[in-house]
Amino acid sequence: MDSVNPLQNILLYVDGSESSVLATRMAITMAKVYGSKLRAVYVVNENLLNELLKAKIFVKVEKMDYERDIEDDGKRYLDYVKKLAESKGVQLETILRKGVVYEEVLREVEEYGADLVIQGELGEVQSLKDSFYEEGERILRKVSCPVMVVRGEERIENIFEAL
């Protein structure tokens, strides 16, 4: 009897943080070990940009410039993730989306048919209100597949280097 790979499609949520880089190493490791397809998604947080515009922290031109800068950052993060994967012989597809972060990740989970979402450690929540705006928390609670939150830097680094 052939065994079925329960992790055919792994989706990595990348946000550019240090914990996101650690999650990247874990996702690459798992994709290599399980022979899984791996896709990384970065989302330009348009919701936050619109709130900054509404609060008059930005004027429209500044919002557009800042959005372009964030998009460029996202492309750099995705390029970095792709190079890390290639260094371990793992194919990685990258997707850059714009919108409300957790909604775009949910959409990507459905479109890709993700069996697992991997993300970095959740941000520190100082209040109940913060928990509603922590994107990693929203992803964890809303997606329709298992979510792995990666922590344990030394252990992950050792596993990644041993590949």
pLDDT at position 119 is 97
The CATH architecture assigned to 9-162 reads 3-Layer(aba) Sandwich (3.40)
pLDDT at position 152 is 93
Tens of each residue's pLDDT in the chain, 163 residues? 346 889 999 999 999 899 999 999 999 999 999 999 999 999 998 776 666 656 666 666 666 777 788 899 999 999 999 999 999 999 999 999 999 999 999 999 999 999 999 999 986 655 444 444 578 888 989 999 999 999 999 999 999 999 9
Cβ neighbours for 9, distance < 8 A, ≥ 6 positions apart: 36, 37, 39, 112, 113, 114, 115, 116
